[in-house]
Structure 1
C-alpha cells in the first residue's frame, strides 16, 4: 500500500488552499462589497475592515435607489421574478420536448438521425447576434414581442440542444437488454420509456436540467432586445444601476449576490448529478 510523506501531504494541502482561494476570492470580495457604500468601495487603498450596511439590499427590495441626483425607481425584484419564471418554464418545456427526442435518437437509428441531432446541437454554436435581427422581425409579425410566451420560446431553444445531447448519452449508456426484456413481457414502448428508461436516466436528466437552467438564467442578449423593462430578467435589469450620476457598485454587488443565489443553491444541491452528467452523458453523446 502506497503511503505519502508528510511533506507531500503538506504540499497538496497548500496547493488545494491556493486553488480554493483563487476561485473563491472574487465571490467573497463581491459579497463584502454588497455590505459597503460606494465611498467605502472606492477608497484607496481598499480594506476589508469597514462598517457593514444593509442599505444596498434594502434599496433592491424596496425598489428605491438613492443616487447623487435623487431617488431612482428600480424593479430588481420583479426582474428577479422574471428570471425565475423564464428559466423554470423554458427548462420545463425543453425537458418535455428534449427527453423523448433524446430517447428516440439513442434507441432508434434511422437515416439522417445523426445529421438532425448535430443540426439541433449547432443551435448552441450560433452566436446570438446572428439570429437576433430575424428573430426581432418574426416576433413583431407574430405579435410575440415583449411577451413571456415569446421569451420562453427563445429560452427553450437555448436549453433544448444541451438537454438533448446530455440525456441522449445517458440513454445510450443504459443497456437495451433491460428494455427488451420488459417489452417481451407485453409492455408498450411508452410504458418501457416511462417505467424503465426514465428512472435509470434520472441523474442525467437532473444534470441536464440544472445546466440548462444555468444557461437560461445567464442569458442576456435576447431579453435585452425582445422585451421591455417589465418582462426583462435580472441580467438585463442590472443595467439600471449604471446611472447618469455614477455607477452604484454596492447595489450591483448586492444584486449579484441575490441573482447567483438560486443557481448556486441548485448547483450545490445537485452537484453529484452535475459532475456525473458532464463526465458520462456529455462524452457519450
Structure 2
C-alpha cells in the first residue's frame, strides 16, 4: 500500500510539474506573440492619428481616416500605382530567379566541375556585397543599355539580391536528396526531365517556397536599387513612401499608413504558405 501511495503521489507530482511547464510555455508564447505583433498594432494606431496626436498622445486619441485618404486617393500620391509596380518588379524578379536559380542549384549539388565551390562562393558574395558598392557602375551600364527606369532593368538588377539566396538554400535541399532516387527512377524508364519535374521538384517544394518567400521579401523591401535606377515611370513603394517625409516635418500618420499597406502582402503570403514555410525552414534541422 505504501508503494502504491508513493507511486500515485509521484504521478500527481509529475502531472503538476507538467501542467506548470505548459502554463509557462503558453505564457512565454503569449509574450512573444505580443512582442511580434506590437509593431503592427502600433503602426495601425499611428495611422489613425493626426500628426499632432502622434507625438502628444498614446492610446487616447480621436481616430481619423484622413491619412488613408491622402496616401491612397490624393492625386499626387501615386501610392497605389507604385504598389502594383512593386508587385510587377518583385514578382518578375522571383519568377526569373526560380527559372534560372533552381537548375543552377541542381548543377551545384549534383555535378563536379572545375572550381565549383569558388563559383558558388562568388555567387554568394553578390548577396553580401553592399548595394552602394555596385550602384554607380550598374547605373552607368543601365544608361548605356537604355535600362534605366524600366521594369526589366529593376527585375534584372534584383537578381543580385534574390538569386544567391535561392541558389544556396535550394542547393542544400538537392544535396539532401539521395542520388539513388534519381537513378532508380531512370531505371524505371523516366527521362531526366521527368525525374526533375515529377520527383525532385515536389521533394524540394518546402525549401523552394521558403527560399522564394525570403527572396520576395528582400526584393519587395529593396531601397537602394530603385532609388538610383528608377525615375518617374517605374517606382516602388519604398521610394514613393519618401513623399510623406517633408523637408520641414514628418507626416507620421501617412508614413504609418504606407508602412502598414506595404507589409500586408508579405503577411498575407506568409499566412497562405505557412505550412510549406515551416517545413522548408525546419527541413534538415534534425538528422537521424
Q: Which of 172-181 and 88-97 deviates more?
A: 172-181
Q: TM-score, normalised by structure 1?
A: 0.89
CA distance in 2, matches of 1:81, 1:223: 14
Q: Which of 214-223 and 106-115 deviates more?
A: 106-115
- Give the C-alpha shift of residue 51 in structure 1: 2.3
Following superposition, which runs of at least 4 residues in structure 1 exceed 4 angstroms of deviation?
A: 281-284
CA distance in 1, matches of 2:36, 2:213: 21
**Paired position in structure 1 for 2:177:** 174
**Paired position in structure 2 for 1:115:** 118
Contact 1:124 1:161 (8 Å CA) reproduced: yes
Kindly provide the CA deviation profile for residues 262-285 of structure 1, in whole angstroms up to 9, marking residues without a partner as x.
Answer: 01111122223223333347999x
Contact 1:168 1:281 (8 Å CA) reproduced: no
- Counterpart mapping for 1:81-100 below 5 A: 81-100=84-103
**Paired position in structure 2 for 1:51:** 62
Q: Which of 275-284 and 74-83 deviates more?
A: 275-284
- Give the C-alpha shift of residue 173 in structure 1: 1.5
Instruction: Structure 1: state its 5+ residue gaps.
Output: 65-72
Q: TM-score, normalised by structure 2?
A: 0.88
CA distance in 2, matches of 1:109, 1:103: 11
- Give the C-alpha shift of residue 6 in structure 1: 4.8
Change (3 A) 1:185 1:8: closer
Q: Which of 219-228 and 229-238 deviates more?
A: 229-238
CA distance in 2, matches of 1:255, 1:5: 45
* RMSD of Structure 2 on Structure 1 (CA): 2.1
Contact 1:165 1:282 (8 Å CA) reproduced: no
- Give the C-alpha shift of residue 249 in structure 1: 0.9
Aligned residues: 274
**Paired position in structure 2 for 1:60:** 71
CA distance in 1, matches of 2:285, 2:98: 16
- Counterpart mapping for 1:1-285 below 5 A: 3=15, 4-43=17-56, 46-64=57-75, 73-280=76-283
CA distance in 2, matches of 1:6, 1:102: 46
Contact 2:149 2:232 (8 Å CA) reproduced: no
Give the match's secondary structure for 2:60.
Answer: coil
Instruction: Structure 2: state its 5+ residue gaps.
Output: 1-10
Change (3 A) 1:198 1:8: closer
Contact 2:150 2:233 (8 Å CA) reproduced: no
Give the match's secondary structure for 1:29.
Answer: helix
CA distance in 2, matches of 1:119, 1:5: 50
Structure having the higher helix fraction is 2
